Structure 1
């Protein structure tokens, strides 16, 4: 990083600046290898690459199903077996899913994906 005009240090090392010149930079609590301005910490924590990532969704009908392969890569026998399971199993749900479906902060796109998991019998 390059130091700004009239600055002795770059943004990453601005904590060493004596006059500060603005919001104080602090070490990121998720990763001490970088800093963030104190007033933007909450926003940063939501998008920091070091935050805990959501776990992949598993098929609740059959957790052994390999979700990394698309339907077009599966044999007819595998597809028929999956369809049989879908026809016999009831739709699974979870209170957290209902909460998210009723959350007004979720937009149309989020609702579309949540309904897909609900209707397909997947649980988070």
Structure 2
């Protein structure tokens, strides 16, 4: 097949290594502290290489674990920041809308946690 037949030839190249995984590496330092432990999910539940950002972004079984963890650990603006970073990294990897593929139940849990303002 020629490159014109292959829709994946336009995707950005990715490093074939990662410290944590291809999803977490580029956003980890910018995440709220409550969300950082959520990035250490097992990529083995997907067919993706651990370093492949785009592949991990489209795996709801992987994104769902991260999203559930963020919804449990973070509140309010922390959730919004973590979710925005996840969407941003997936978008920059060439993933189509909604960019970060997570189950509807996880999306609802994140929305609820984002609406919940943390109390001291």
What range is the shorter-chain TM-score in?
Answer: under 0.3
- Whichever structure has more strand as a proportion of its residues is 1
* TM-score, normalising length: structure 2: 0.24
More helix by share: 2
Give 1 or 2 for the bigger CA radius of gyration. Answer: 1
